[in-house]
Amino acid sequence: MAARKDTQTLGETRLNGPAIIGELIRNMELGQFEMNYTVLLPCIFSLYLHPDDYARLGGVLELIVDDAKRTLCARVTQLNAKPTLMGLRRPGATSKEYKIAGRDWVIEFFADTEGTVPLGDVEVHSVHGKDLRELLAQAADEDLGGHRARDYRDRARRLGSGLESCNSDPSRTPFALG
């Protein structure tokens, strides 16, 4: 998925925070899994950057992750807002709850080692939720192919990141898909 970029002098394109976060939101919305009363959203994101972009942004990736988590939480809040028509609640309108299957957002950046992401672009892969033990087991499975194997392998290499919850009701226990 190509990201929007700022155009610099001499025709150089540079990837920026709003472009990266915009692609995360786009990916989250495209990855909705609708059920009868709930819409699950992806919560685990692997972002692949061109190695030059990864090196250039390396010092601010944690800040981008923090901002992205806040933006994702804000978007979920918007999606869960009561449906209205010109500021009034529509009669008989029932809305589905939008939520993530995991406890928190997981956003990880990787340098593209396969040479598929052009300079100035970002490739986003996402899943709805997995237990870390399952990810490690899948990473060890040699039958996996393509990008999914790449996601599991890269995630298995880098365990953990600072996680921040955006669950609206802290008394509810989120679940993981198996």
Cβ 166 vs Cβ 69: under 8 Å: yes
Which segments of 60-174 are extended strands (E)?
84-85, 88-89, 97-100, 106-111, 122-127
The pLDDT value recorded for residue 94 is 67
Over the stretch 24-83, which tens digit does the pLDDT of each residue have? 999 999 999 999 999 999 999 999 999 999 999 999 999 999 999 999 999 999 999 876
- pLDDT of 113 > 90? The answer is yes
Give residue 41's pLDDT.
Answer: 95
Q: What is the pLDDT of residues 1-28, one digit of tens each?
A: 455 444 333 445 789 999 999 999 999 9
According to CATH, the topology of domain 6-157 is: hypothetical protein PF0899 fold (3.30.2320)
Beta carbons within 8 Å of 24's beta carbon, 6+ residues apart: 45, 47, 68, 71, 72, 107, 124
Measured distance CA(84)–CA(36) in Å, rounded: 20
pLDDT tens for 121-166 read 999 999 988 655 455 555 555 455 555 556 655 655 554 433 334 4
Rounded Cα gap, residues 21 and 109, in angstroms = 12
pTM: 0.68
